[in-house]
Chain A
Amino acid sequence: MLVGLGRGGQQRCTADVCIGLVFDVGGLGDKSFNDAAHRGLLRAKEELGIGFRYVEPGDGSDRESALRQLALEGNQLVIGVGFIFSDDIRNLAEEFPDTKFACIDYSATPGAEVPSNLSGLRFREHEGSFLVGALAALKSESKSVGFVGGMDIPLIHKFEAGYEAGVKHVCPECEVLSTYAGTKPEAFSDPIAGKELSLAQYNRGADVIFHAAGKTGTGVFNAAKSKGKWAIGVDSDQFDDMPCCILTSMVKKVDIAVFETVRDLVQGTFEGGVREFGLAEQGVDYVFDDNNRDRIPSEIRARVEAIRQGVIDGTIKVPSK
């Protein structure tokens, strides 16, 4: 309840630039994706003086209604958090040509043109996964590492492909064990499956597991704890979820994407089209701070940083599928 108190009472926007944001199902307080988008707006409010208001939709039809409502209210920029908004946002952008729109993880029907007032924000998750893949392989003593995905969909295959390539880049003889929790959305919220799958991988010899499985990852962390092995978090810094066993986290900086889009709008440089955030744009990264400094020896850190530079320069190509 006390946590909830701070969330109530967003006020009607009175600033010069007003922004509306619609959260993905799950809403505020997911400690991940949605909260990161919210952080981006809070930073924009502080640094750029914008005003914003958000809507947490319930079922599927609420998403479009909420976007439409925010556009009708006269917000200059309307943001949808999640790939599921893509086609709705594209249609609305055509209907409201004077309003700017942005969509996180934009992924509309192939071949559909992106309107000039819509910014589709995409992340090169495979690049970040490539780095943690290299890190996992360098850290591994058993020459075997694991990957646990959530729902078996192309978006998650990007994580897997980058990770596996990263492992093979530094250690061609290393083995990558890979499994998915399921084919339904619930595969992202199934810690029990996550624990079973990762226990199986640890038992087969893996000593580092990277998950891209939402709340299912909690099970991966539990397995890491009971086996005394390493796990790698995803999306945001997950160190606090299991301080004993998190080697690092592959972070996706939704807050930076949101903030930069708002800044472009305020500065009058907003551009439509698909915009990608990778290592070069610091849109994806891995965590290296006081919490895990002693877990990543300096020679491993140096090697991974060299790989980062290679990816940014283009001398290392990272596959996305």
Chain B
Amino acid sequence: MTKRGNELFLQVYGVAVALLVAMAAGSVLILIFGQSPANVYGVLLSKTWGNAHGIGQTLFKSTPLIFTGLSVALAFRAGLFNIGCEGQLLVGSFACALVGSALPMSTPALLAVPLAIAVAGLAGGALGAIPGALRAYTGSHEVINTIMLNFIASAAVLWAGNRFFFVEETTHTAEIVSTAELPSLGISGSALNGSFFLAFACAGLFWVLMDRSRRGFELRAVGLSPLAAENAGIDVRRSIVVAMTLSGAIAGIVGANFVLGYKHYFEEGLGRGMGFMGIAVALLGRNNPIGIIFAALLFGTLSNGGLEVNAFVPKELIEVLQAVIILAVAITSATTQRALAKGGAS
């Protein structure tokens, strides 16, 4: 087996072991609740992938996770840990909804849709740039700063919404103009919409940027060793700001899924938790765009399936299952890395 093939095999093997461990742990919990694991897993699969509506809803739930997974992975490849997706997607969605509702009715879709998406990306990117610049120029750690900015973002959005933008007696903004809406894909009443393709486009761009461009090489070099990168003549500070800005922008575009493609307004609570879940998706997907798509589909399946099996087991069980998968992946990831390092040495 070639080294590359061997590496891929070990990665897939590690994830497969993690999933099996998680399923076994889940089975024990299901048994404690007096249900049959085969039945619960069966319902989970048949209701998510067994009919058109289920497939549509599952892909819809996976879409934001592809974005946030890519966002975390991009920063991670540059050696940065972006825990601020939660806030970035919040300001992205909010800005997207405000611009979408402020546009004149006659704005053509060809202008309205890209504009609204660009605003979402810009807002998320701006929020990502702050911890990037702080890290690059003051050395203060991006983990602390992104976490803190999450609080600031949620408080600021809620305050501005309540004070100026929310429709009276509700916690949502006015509707966006109809030409800014991303069309529903019309899969038997599911919420799946055009932003699903946007997520794939983002994954493609991610690959071109990170693996096929000079800028991506620089980012990765900074991630591997900032000192070596600096010696090689790479502007490390600029690279850090660029990475955090791009990471924030991808997270901001989650707004396209919720605002442009689904609710057509921003609502308090939309997308909550998707940013943190993105960390798990990036981890499970090994920071690789194809891996991230599969990881997002897995978590999307669990999250949509969780609603379906809620008839048999409480929702906390699915949350535990997700956490066990993440733990198992983290453990197998460490052992796989060690095996790979050993293989490389021999």
> Residue A184 at the B interface, CB < 8 A?
yes
Stretch at the interface among A58-66, A231-239, A252-260, A308-316: A58-66
Known A8-B314, A154-B169, A184-B158; contact A57-B307, beta-carbon cutoff 8 A: yes
Task: Give the number of chain A interface residues (Cβ < 8 Å).
Answer: 40
Write out the residue numbers on chain A whose beta carbons fall within 8 Å of the beta carbon of B114. none
Say whether B311 contacts A53, CB under 8 Å: yes
> Residue A84 at the B interface, CB < 8 A?
yes
Enumerate B259-312 residues with CB–CB distance to A below 8 Å. 262-263, 267-274, 303-304, 306-308, 310-312
Write out the residue numbers on chain B whose beta carbons fall within 8 Å of the beta carbon of A11. 311
Contact of B191 among A4, A28, A64 (CB under 8 A): A64
Write out the residue numbers on chain A whose beta carbons fall within 8 Å of the beta carbon of B155. 183-184
Q: How far is the CA of A58 from the CA of B302 in the complex (A)?
A: 12
Write out the residue numbers on chain B whose beta carbons fall within 8 Å of the beta carbon of A154. 169
Say whether B307 contacts A62, CB under 8 Å: yes
Q: How far is the CA of A11 from the CA of B32 in the complex (A)?
A: 17
Write out the residue numbers on chain A whose beta carbons fall within 8 Å of the beta carbon of B267. 60, 84
Say whether B270 contacts A153, CB under 8 Å: no
Write out the residue numbers on chain B whose beta carbons fall within 8 Å of the beta carbon of A86. 170
Q: How far is the CA of A61 from the CA of B65 in the complex (A)?
A: 13
Chain B contact patch, size range: 35 or more
Residue of A nearest to B43 (CB): A12
Say whether A59 contacts B311, CB under 8 Å: no
Write out the residue numbers on chain A whose beta carbons fall within 8 Å of the beta carbon of B316. 4
Known A10-B311, A154-B169, A184-B155; contact A65-B57, beta-carbon cutoff 8 A: yes
Known: A9-B35, A65-B304, A110-B167. 10 other contacts (CB 8 A): A5-B34, A8-B35, A9-B312, A55-B310, A58-B306, A61-B270, A65-B307, A69-B307, A109-B170, A110-B169
Residue-wise interface mask of A (68-111) relative to B, using a CB-CB cutoff of 8 A (1 in contact, 0 not): 11001000000000001011000000000000000000011110
Residues on A close to B: CB < 8 A? 1, 4-5, 7-12, 25, 27-28, 53-62, 64-66, 68-69, 72, 84, 86-87, 107-110, 153-154, 183-185
Q: Which 8 A-B pairs have the closest CB atoms?
A: A8-B33, A60-B269, A56-B315, A60-B270, A107-B169, A59-B272, A59-B273, A55-B310
Contact of B158 among A9, A68, A183 (CB under 8 A): A183
Write out the residue numbers on chain B whose beta carbons fall within 8 Å of the beta carbon of A8. 33-35, 312-314
Say whether B34 contacts A9, CB under 8 Å: yes
> Residue B53 at the A interface, CB < 8 A?
yes
